[in-house]
Amino acid sequence: MVDAVDPADDELLAKAQKGDAWAFGVWLERQYDFIYRIAYRLMRHQMDAEDLTQDICIKLADRIGSYTGQGSSRGWLARVVINAGHDKLRQKTRRKTSHIDDVAEPAAVEASDHKTYLNEVMRAMAKLPEKSQHALMLAAEGLTHAEMAEVLECTAGTVGWRISTARDELTQILTGVKHVAAR
């Protein structure tokens, strides 16, 4: 789980947008782990996630102004990460080394039941629509509905529906049974 929102973060961000290099440095350092964790969930590989995080950090130096101050800044940041991650994954897929393959291959390794199940879920997740994938991932990262709304480009009210839909879709893929959610 990520740390609770620190009210000073937005302040730092605002200062950074005005060109305060110190504020930018502190803000970015605080966001690094958040960026990295989402990056890892996207890339499913530590080094890839580190590469992506570095790209995003540098990109943020240039594009920090793209946050308009409306909506949650963490949501905005999560979207930046997801967009950048998708660009990167697209490049990777072209080279046919998608993260799904990485997940699908650990048969050689002695895997616990839990891990097998997790891999199964991961593979199933990859078949979901993008937005459903993101909804599950961000909920796992502990984003609030308001923050997720920013990423999923919907209202906070719709977020809950998205998550439950994603759950149902996933269950359906895993069990082959159409499951009606009874949350």
Task: Decide if 133 contacts 126 (C-beta within 8 A).
Answer: yes
**Amino acid symbol at 64:** I
Applying the rule CB under 8 A, the residues between 36 and 95 that interact with another protein are 36-37, 40-41, 46, 49-50, 53-54, 57-58, 60-66, 69
Q: How far is the CB of 169 from another protein (least distance, A)?
A: 10
**b/e code 10-45 from CB counts within 10 Å (16+ = b):** bebbebbbeeeeebbebbbeebeebbbbbbbbbbbb
Q: Closest separation between CB of residue 23 and another protein, Å?
A: 7
99: how many CB neighbours lie within 10 A of its CB? 20
Examine residue 99 and tell whether it contacts another protein (CB under 8 A): no
The residue within the footprint of another protein, chosen from 84, 103, 136, 151 (CB under 8 A), is 136
Q: Considering only CA atoms, which of 82, 102, 69 is closest in space to residue 34?
A: 82
The residues that touch another protein, with contacts defined as CB under 8 A, are: 1, 6-8, 10-12, 14-26, 28-30, 32-33, 36-37, 40-41, 46, 49-50, 53-54, 57-58, 60-66, 69, 117-118, 120-121, 125, 136-137, 139-142, 163, 166-168, 170-171, 174-175, 179
